[in-house]
Amino acid sequence: MEITAAMVKELRSQSGAGIMECKSALKETSGDVEAAITFLRKKGLAKADKKSDRQTGDGAVGTYIHAGNKLGVMVELNCETDFVANTPDFQELVRDIAMHIAAAKPRFARRDEVTQEILDKEKEIAAHQAKESGKPDNIVEKIVTGKMEKFYEENCVLEQPFIKDTNITVQELIKQKISLLGENIVLGRFSRFEI
């Protein structure tokens, strides 16, 4: 199948990838735009994983104030250089994450921030609920594991489904931007204020 400029343009507008990347993705998927998007996402996530150990000494602090001025978020997003920190794509990511935090009400940025005390309490509650419903002990353990995964998904920003596209998590959104911008990006701190 011939890859037309219109197909490449459409894929670029949907994925944000470069012309040559879009062209090769379309060739790889025989012109199927949806499959090409998936191909690019997989390729981008693999690239992002390779960059995850690089230092992030720069970045930006962004804010989001919701209509009515009763809800606001301040977020720190780190990257490797001030050049990337000042790009429109990075600034948009900072704002999107701040908006996501405003809407999703996470308590933590990532799993390792959850204290052992909170984990123990959540496990105890999940185990009690499972036992009260009459589940055998071997099933209770599986239920607790499942509920803890759900707890992380609901309370850790990076594991939450992104509010603008619930097919991806916030971590996957960041990995897409890493692939696009070519630098490691790490979510730092955030504060959510609500009246």
Say which residues have a Cβ less than 8 Å from residue 34's Cβ, sequence separation at least 6.
Answer: none
Burial of 86-104, coded b for 16+ CB within 10 Å and e otherwise, reads: ebeebeebbbbbbbbbbeb
Which residues does residue 78 pair with via DSSP β-bridges, in sequence order?
59, 186
* DSSP for residue 157: G
User: In this predicted model, what pLDDT tens digit does every residue of 68-122 receive, in sequence order?
Assistant: 999 999 999 999 888 999 999 999 999 999 999 999 999 999 999 999 999 999 9
| Whether residue 94 sits in one domain with residue 69 | yes
pLDDT band at 8 (very low <50, low <70, confident <90, very high): confident
d(CA 105, CA 126): 21
User: pLDDT value at position 122?
Assistant: 92
Tally of structural domains, the chain:
3
Residue 149 phi/psi, 5-degree rounding, is: -60, -40
| Whether residue 161 sits in one domain with residue 67 | yes
User: pLDDT value at position 51?
Assistant: 57
| Whether residue 78 sits in one domain with residue 160 | yes
The CATH number given to whatever domain includes residue 89 is 3.30.479.20
The CATH number given to whatever domain includes residue 139 is 1.10.286
The domain in which residue 189 lies consists of 58-109+156-194
- Chain centroid, CA 115 distance in Å: 22
| Whether residue 76 sits in one domain with residue 167 | yes
